[in-house]
Amino acid sequence: MTKKTITLIAIIGIVVIGIFWTVGKYNTLVNNDESCSQQWSKVESQYQRRTDLIPNLVNTVKGYAAHEKETFTQVIAARNQATQAKVDPNKLDQKSIQNFQKSQDNLSSAISKLMVVVERYPELKANQNFLELQSQLEGTENRIAVERQRFADIVKSYNTSIRRFPTNMIATMFSFEKKAYFEAQKGAENAPKVEF
């Protein structure tokens, strides 16, 4: 074999290795991106479960506290707003997640007001349907927290992978963009004041 042939084979070998490496990194990025989208759908699913529980909760409370119309109206309005807030899993940017989170925070606030109303009705707190709905709502809140944490872990992994060298070159070449995280509610950094 001549020197030219050996050089040509070496160049072809390097190009083939480069192509396989690029394809491998690209496929890994695609898998990570899909994992983010899949986990986001799990987060949304838990939020949807919560919004599905609310009409039953409101109706149960209405039976005992019919004169609390303003609270019921606020809860239903917040629920409707929350069901309208959707995020495209392919566009998990900060603005989209903040808008989604804002609607969910409004719903959480409305539910809290509803629970304050419940405190005024001891017979309601003893109602089996209410207790069951309250338990399901608490369980759903826990599921939401778990799925959000899993989402944050997957997004961290994805965001790290698109920033590491040399994968960042592939990510840039194929327009893989950073995904956003959920942020804590304003004031969450301050501990609540508890007085006895």
pLDDT tens for the chain, residues 1 to 196: 789 999 999 999 999 999 999 999 999 999 999 999 999 999 999 999 999 998 888 888 888 777 777 888 888 899 999 988 888 888 888 899 999 999 999 999 999 888 888 888 888 777 888 888 888 989 999 999 999 999 999 999 999 999 999 999 999 999 999 999 887 666 544 544 434 3
What pLDDT is recorded for position 187?
Answer: 53
> What are the sequence ranges of the domains in the chain?
3-173
Nearest to 171 by CA among 37, 30, 34: 30
What pLDDT is recorded for position 192?
Answer: 46
Print burial letters for 37-64: b (CB count within 10 Å at least 16), e (below 16): eebbebbbebbeebbebbeebbebbeeb
- Contact, 30 vs 87, CB < 8 A? no
Paired tokens of 20: 């396989």
Distance CA 170, CA 166 (A): 7
Paired tokens of 29: 């990025």
Residues 6+ apart with CB under 8 A from 60: 124, 127, 129, 130, 133
What pLDDT is recorded for position 116?
Answer: 85
